[in-house]
Amino acid sequence: MSTSVAFLSGKGGSGKTTLALSVADLLCRCGAKTLLVDCDLSTNGATYFYESQINEWNKSHAVSVSSFSGILCGTTWADKPMPLEVNPQMDFIPSVSEISSEWMTEAAVRASGDTESRLGEFLFWAKCNTDYDVILFDCQAGYSEFLPLLLPGMDVDLFVLEADSISASAMRSLHLKIGGDFGRAKLYQVFNKTTPEEFDIYSKIVGTFFTNIGTLLFDWKIRQAFSRSQIPDLENNSANYGAGLCDICKIIFSDQKIQKSLSNFADELHFRKLQEKRSKIEVELNFSTRKRERLIWANSLFEFLLFAFMVVCFFVAIFPLSMNQFPEQKESNYIFISLIGALTSFLIITVARSRSMSSEERRKRLESERQLKELNKELAGLENKLKEI
């Protein structure tokens, strides 16, 4: 039996589509057979990401890819739809099947009548007549007429909101409209697009209306990927986001196989993050070693010159005394000045030696060396764990 999840929000732009696409991608990597359905007839957000694949499919097949609107209107058999195969692990049902030429409003869909039973048939097909482990529904922001039909069939409703009061108020007003339709679904929320400062605060919030199961940072690489209709790169560019998604998915999907794969993927991401941190520290240490070597060389030269000066001063002072001559007033001034010169050189050499590396630098270096040792230990542990998988 599959787990069905609806991505909801009070206000648009909170990141539902990005999250739904990324969760689908993550679950595919984890070996879960996934169906993603774009239920957003107003913006068709997720459908744009697969536009070229849909067009190719439509060109090479006699029947177009089944769409959510087609299923609701009855132009597609709700109990036998034909989703787009994105990859062997993932299928996708777009909001409309010809995004550049077809448009469909909620009113038009509703006018076709009997949407409720068609949606029911579709949900039954997806949940009971297929081998999907997970079915994800990327919904329209705010209220839509289909929500009361869709929500009772969900196992999880995930509300995505930004860390601002408008998002929270919009979620409250959505809750007022759909509060009675949740059925037996578990209700969760995530804060998305937080700044590092907000992250510290919002990740401590246990919940508002619903239980908070994650806080995700704003990541401009996600925005960049979105602008190119690309799914965020959870492994490399947006690994922090990927790690956050692993934690969220671990709460939503209780299946043992998925849980294990999620933990392994999270470990891999953590391993990579530690490797990055280690190379950063190594670069810093290398830089400080090179700087130190240059400093030592300059110090040695300086010390040598001072030492030579000290020896000369010393001999200038000692020579008249060793001749057993009681110095004249003029000579005694020279002797005095030479002795002062020798003493000052000696003091400068001593101080320079003790301060060749400032105490702050030394502390930083020791701290980096300590961190490096700990990181190496942790990395070795993780490496062994990953080898066993």
Ligand X SMILES: Nc1ncnc2c1ncn2[C@@H]1O[C@H](COP(=O)(O)OP(=O)(O)O)[C@@H](O)[C@H]1O
Interface residue list for ligand X (CB under 6 A) = 9, 12-18, 45, 141, 192-193, 216, 218-219, 222-223, 226, 241
Sole binder of Mg ion in the list 17, 34, 144, 215 (CB under 5 A): 17
What is the b/e burial string over 181-204, where b = at least 16 CB atoms within 10 angstroms of the residue's CB? ebeebbbbbbbbbbeeebbeebee
**Residue 171 identity:** M
How many residues belong to the site for Mg ion (CB under 5 A)? Answer: 3
Q: Which does 14 bind (CB under 5 to 8 A by kind): Mg ion, ligand X, none?
A: ligand X
CA distance 216 to 203: 9
Q: Which does 9 bind (CB under 5 to 8 A by kind): ligand X, Mg ion, none?
A: ligand X
Q: Which does 118 bind (CB under 5 to 8 A by kind): ligand X, Mg ion, none?
A: none
CA distance 216 to 199: 7
Tell the smallest beta-carbon distance from residue 133 to ligand X (Å).
23
Q: How far is CA 101 from CA 53, 54, 70, 97, 98, in A?
A: 16, 13, 14, 9, 6
Tell the smallest beta-carbon distance from residue 239 to ligand X (Å).
13
Closest to ligand X by CB, 218 vs 334, is 218
Nearest-CA neighbor of 254 among 361, 385, 345, 134?
134
Q: Which does 155 bind (CB under 5 to 8 A by kind): Mg ion, ligand X, none?
A: none
Sole binder of Mg ion in the list 4, 23, 37, 45 (CB under 5 A): 45
* Phi, then psi, of 104 in degrees rounded to 5: -150, 120
Nearest-CA neighbor of 314 among 332, 333, 349, 340?
340
Tell the smallest beta-carbon distance from residue 135 to Mg ion (Å).
17
A 10 A CB-CB count for 152 gives: 15
Tell the smallest beta-carbon distance from residue 236 to ligand X (Å).
16
User: Closest residue (Cβ) to ligand X?
Assistant: 226
Tell the smallest beta-carbon distance from residue 285 to ligand X (Å).
33
A 10 A CB-CB count for 52 gives: 10
Q: Which does 219 bind (CB under 5 to 8 A by kind): Mg ion, ligand X, none?
A: ligand X
Chain residues that interact with Mg ion, rule: CB under 5 A: 16-17, 45
